[in-house]
Amino acid sequence: MTTEAGIRVIVADDQAAVREGLVLLLGTMPGITVVGEAADGEEAVALVAQHRPDIVLMDLAMPHCTGAEATRRVRQEHPDTQVVVLTTYASDDLALEALQAGALGYLTKSATKDAIARALTAAAAGQAVLDPGVQRTLIRAASHNRPAPAPADGLTARETDVLKLIAAGHDNRAISRHLFISETTVKSHINRIFAKTKSKDRAQAIHYAREHRYTE
């Protein structure tokens, strides 16, 4: 809920120049006050607990804890704080993951000052705002009738992405770069994949992926 100070915002972006630029930009917007800056997802979650802002303006590709993971934690632990994603990418997977994690808005970094201001104001009022490019990716994903993760193994959408990349022969570093997540996060996903698919190693996971048509 906004206060007399206006909409209170935390900016989370691992690139210092981008983060500082956003803070300066938001400082020119009437009714918006920046109360914290985070360089990664873990710091963003900690700052939300400390400041209880109205909104986190969240990048997705951050170390230690991705923007999607941070969004999920913020929404679970501090439901009064909304999340608006501001990231470079508008891919189907990233947009869907962020929105499923609880983000109320999704913009790319090509968004104008006015678009960012509108998204923050809308989010503070509980309304969603999506970048036009993101809307197109969601419509495209829906039109392709993308299947949900196989219920038999319980793999999440992100774990499915990781399993497909493992089956395609990618190592952890390549998976990290492809999905814009840290290698630590990749390892966590792989451990959960092994547990859910009862695989002892990558070879068994690849066999499982092929047997259950995750490679098609």
pTM: 0.64
Fill in the DSSP letter of residue 150. P
Mean of the per-residue pLDDT values for the chain? 86
Contact 42, 70 (CB under 8 A): yes
Residue 54 has pLDDT above 90, yes or no: yes
Q: What is the mean pLDDT of residues 190-200?
A: 92
Between 19 and 90, where is the model more confident? Answer: 19
Structure confidence by residue, pLDDT tens digits, 148-157: 444 456 888 8
Between 215 and 106, where is the model more confident? Answer: 106
Residue 145 has pLDDT above 80, yes or no: no
Q: How far apart are CA 152 and CA 190, in angstroms?
A: 17
The pLDDT of residue 182:
87
H/E stretch holding 85 reads strand 82-87
The pLDDT of residue 131:
78
